[in-house]
Amino acid sequence: MASRPGMLMVEKLGKNTDSRRNGAARNPKNALPGLAEARSPTTRGPAPMLSNMTTGFIQRLRANDEAAWFELWETFGPVIRAQLMKWGKGRVGVETVRDLSQETLAALSSSIDRYDPSRGARFSTWLLAIAKHVLGDEIDRRMALKRGGGKSNAAFDESWMSSGAQMGADAAYEAAVFRAKVEAAIRAVEGECDFTDFSIYRMRVFDGLPGKEVADAVGVSEPTVSRRLAKVRDLLRVRLREVVTTYSFTKEELEEAERNGLSLNPNTPGGSDGPAGPADRSADLAFDEAIAEIYHRQTQLRAEDRDLTSGRF
């Protein structure tokens, strides 16, 4: 059986070998940002004000938790590859893009210690900065080889931490990162839910089928469809809140779900003992519509990414 991409990355990172990096793995001082040993708390300034979920996930990465590595790769790999291809403008091939996207995620996990929250960088900006650094280093290396010489790795410019605009972090990129977080929550819920329950949500929300048609297809009543739909939606809200918290450095990022119509804490006018009021139904409808739109956008992105990684482009 073929190895999963995330597992290949884990194996590669575990070996700490990369012939293209001029011995960076053997000499932490020459490594990519974050691959060097972390500075001690007494020498690196303010401690990162990251959530417990964020720091917990980073601890899993540092412990070589393969599931954590695969989660990071599965969530943001396509976004990074698309950005690298956009920047590369044909100067780098598919295999190189795949390698560079792996290195970007590796550097991200290790460089969290150097994140300074007072400088206001978003998770997405930090990710983009490292990707640009990795790509620039590769292009410089190729130019040096053409001139017949070698080139040591460039130092990471940490001013990128505080300026998303100069990194090219446009609205399209920020939206892509957010959609990746939503997709990760959907995957988590699909794996956790009862198969029939998630199938009902898929047919009703993603496929847009009427409740009666879903009930007939599954063999249950329409009220049962509504109850199971609400059950999955509630769990999706919980998992989405967890994913957004894990992959967010700033308050602005934590509020992205609400800004995109994904209400994670809807009011309950009807109370816990009665049916939800009109405001709840409106919030649920907006939530489902936003989830469906993101799901279909991510499905398209995944198809394009498969074409890219298989060389069909």
Q: Give backbone dihedrals phi and psi of 16, rounded to 5 degrees, phi first.
A: 55, 45
Per-residue buried b or exposed e for 178-207, using 16+ beta carbons within 10 Å of the residue's own CB: bbbbbbbbbbbbbeebeeebbbbbbbbbee
The pLDDT of 161-174, averaged and rounded, is: 62
Confidence at 150, pLDDT banded by 50, 70, 90: low
In degrees, rounded to 5, the angle at the alpha carbon of residue 73 between the alpha carbons of residues 140 and 199 is 150
Is the pLDDT assigned to residue 8 strictly greater than 70? no
> What is the structure's pLDDT at 10?
39
69 in Cβ contact with 191 (< 8 Å)? no
Calpha distance 172→23 (Å, rounded): 36
Q: What is the mean pLDDT of the chain?
A: 74
Give the pLDDT of residue 54: 79
**What is the per-residue burial (b if ≥16 Cβ within 10 Å, else e) of 129-148?**
bbbbbbbebbeebeeeeeee
Q: How confident is the model at residue 218 (pLDDT cuts 50, 70, 90)?
A: very high
pLDDT of residue 292: 97
31 phi and psi, to 5 degrees?
-75, 170
Question: Token pair 């047919």 is at which residue?
Answer: 203
Q: Worst-scoring range by mean pLDDT, 23-32, 117-126, 127-136, 265-274? A: 23-32
Q: What is the pTM of this model?
A: 0.72
pLDDT in tens, 78-118: 888 888 888 776 666 777 777 888 787 777 766 766 666 56
